[in-house]
Amino acid sequence: MPVDVMLDHVTATAILSWVIPILGGFGTYLARDYRIGWAIGLGTQVLWITLGVITGLPGIAASALWFGAIQFRNWRTFKPRVRHRARCGGCECGIPDAPGVSVAPGVRRGT
């Protein structure tokens, strides 16, 4: 393999090793309130698998399969947090009127 092609390969994998976790972290941040966060995380696992195969590191690919399965399950079972206005009274969150409450902490729709 020519040196310039090898250098490009090393540079690309080095860049991807930074970009993929940044994307994954962004997806994890969004996953608290939005289902798309789990989809972004699942997409990054596909990139990790690809990087693991390209670099010849099967452990990376295997761990990405495991984390991808977890993220797929979380994407499927995701329920958004209930948001309500203060003194919402009678919304499906089941929390009684509470002045100043804007988000029901820990309460998920359908629980």
pLDDT tens, 52-105?
998 899 999 999 999 999 999 999 998 877 665 555 555 655 555 555 545 545
Q: Which of 3, 5, 17, 18 is nearest to 52 (CA)?
A: 17
Q: What's phi and psi for 106, nearest 5 deg?
A: 75, 0
Locate the domains of the chain by residue range.
3-78, 80-111
Prediction pTM value: 0.66
Q: Are 30 and 37 in contact (CB under 8 A)?
A: yes
Cα 44–chain centre separation: 8
CA 111 – CA 80 distance, rounded (Å): 11
